[in-house]
Amino acid sequence: MRVLMFANPLLGHLLPMFPLARALRQQGHTVAFATARHLESTVEPHGFALISAGPTTETVVAEVTRHLGADWLRSRSPDGAAEFFAGARIDLGADEALAGARAWAPDVIVSEHCDFVGPLVAAALKIPSVAMAIDPTLEPELLTALAATAHRRYLERGLEPPAHAPCGQWLLDLCPPSLQRDGELPALHRLALRPEPHQAPEGAPRAPRATLSGRPRVLVSFSTAMNAPERLGSVLRSLSTLDVDLVATASGGMPIDSTGLDPDRVELVTFLPAAELLDGVSVVVHHGGSGTTFGAAARGIPAAVVPGMPGQRRQAARLEAAGAGLALPMGEETTPEAVTAAVGRLLAETTFTTAAHRLRDEIAAMPSAAEVADHLVASVV
């Protein structure tokens, strides 16, 4: 079977799809990814071909800004998000994606739940379509806006528009039940899929890491938007008042000496797969993206979450409700001292680690990528 996987040109949307892709390949199926060309350097080291399917995120943002105005990102409205995911991306990328898919000839398309190009291509090619929920279920008003925005684009191409979002015959759900949003879920055939921390390509050498000292290790992993050197430096300096070692993802090759911290207690990395970053970690400080949220939960590690976006605030709240972490105010509303106080609590109060271990066990009981691949193939063939 030939499986074409569609994702928005965002690492947080693409990387959670790799475990299923690997499982399908190990079972003898052919898998490729369809997304923006610049992600070829991420996809191809894992042994998958990339089919160019639309522009970069920056180009789509510029198009939505031209259409809606300069304040749409600040407003975080459902209409703005819908225009980005289900409007401009289809307008700018559907034709290229359809041409590439026709040439590649897939038997089934799997799309992460915020990608609406893949389902449109599946409708045009009259092949099965599968959605993969990489986040907790989105809010009803956003799901409604996404379906309504995609509706016109399908009709313009003579295709039956989706009745709801996400759309497809099946929904593969990466969200563990304890972190799922309350309320009505999409009316699709759902199949749980165990989330896994992102791994390096098979056979890739592991980067040398700092030696564990015996002190608790705290990982600080913010999104690019929140990872300005001055912001990260101030958080690390505050955290260094605790008796911990620190490891942080730092964009742009930020040197340790620029932080004024003890290099024996701080490890700065530009990028490491989450599966390696989480080794030996006692607490994670992160922005609430699903990859880090689910990855830390799969390892049973409690987290302090400083959301960068409203959707990430949803995940922070669910993690706190599960007892496996603390939700802090968004972005710069949270001071470095507040982050340090939260980490201190997570280290000192064992109830957080106990809850994180319950969440780890819940995730371990979810169907593996290999099991889901078997079910998916049997359903499609």
210 found inside a domain: no
Given a contact cutoff of 8 angstroms between Cβ atoms, the answer to whether 191 and 171 are in contact is yes
Whether residues 125 and 266 fall in one domain? no
In the chain, the number of structural domains is 2
Pair 370, 360 in one domain = no
* Whether residue 336 sits in one domain with residue 376: no
Backbone angles phi, psi at 161, to 5 degrees: -75, 155
**Is residue 286 within 8 Å of 292, Cβ to Cβ?**
yes
Helix (H) or strand (E) holding 35: strand 30-35
Residue 350's CB: how many other CB atoms inside 10 A?
A: 10
Whether residue 84 sits in one domain with residue 15: yes
The domain that holds 326 is classified in CATH as 3.40.50.2000
Does some domain include residue 203?
no
Q: Is the residue at 103 inside a domain?
A: yes
Is 135 a domain residue? yes
Q: How far is CA 294 from the centre of its chain?
A: 9
Residue 183 has pLDDT above 70, yes or no: no
Q: Tokens standing for 179?
A: 């972190």
How much of the chain, in percent, has pLDDT values that exceed 90? 68
Cα separation, 10 vs 5, in Å, equals 14
Distances, alpha carbon 73 to alpha carbons 33, 65, 81, 307, 309, in Å: 28, 8, 8, 15, 10
Report yes or no: 281 and 247 within 8 Å, Cβ to Cβ: yes
Give, in order, the Cα–Cα distances in Å from 68 to each of 75, 103, 147: 11, 34, 18
How far apart, in Å, are the Cα atoms of 375 and each of 7, 167, 169, 239?
22, 19, 13, 46
229 and 83, same structural domain? no
Residue 162 forms part of a structural domain? yes
Average pLDDT, the chain: 90
What confidence score (pLDDT) does residue 212 get?
A: 67
For 322-336, how does the pLDDT look when each residue is reduced to its tens digit (9 = 90+)?
999 999 998 678 899
Q: Please write down the HEC assignment for all residues of 192-207.
A: ECCCCCCCCCCCCCCC
166 and 235 both lie in a single domain: no
In this structure, the answer to whether residues 143 and 50 fall within a common structural domain is: yes
End-to-end CA distance of the chain: 8
Residue with tokens 């999104």, as numbered in its chain: 223
Query: If residue 130 lies in a helix (H) or strand (E), which one and from where to where?
Result: strand 129-133
* 16 lies in the same domain as 159: yes
Q: Which residue has the higher pLDDT, 243 or 188?
A: 243
27 and 111 in a single domain? The answer is yes
Instruction: Mark whether 191 and 221 lie in a shared domain.
Output: no
CB distance 105 to 121 below 8 Å: no
Which pLDDT tens digit goes with each residue over 132-176? Answer: 999 888 888 889 999 999 999 999 999 999 888 888 889 999 999
Q: Which of 27, 25, 368, 22 is nearest to 193 (CA)?
A: 368
**Segment (H or E) for 145:** helix 140-156
Structural domain boundaries enclosing 99: 2-195+366-380
The model scores a pTM over 0.95: no
**Segment 53-103, tens digit of pLDDT:** 999 999 999 999 988 877 776 667 888 899 999 999 999 999 999 999 999
| Euclidean distance between CA atoms 333 and 48, whole angstroms | 41
Q: Which helix (H) or strand (E) holds 126?
A: none
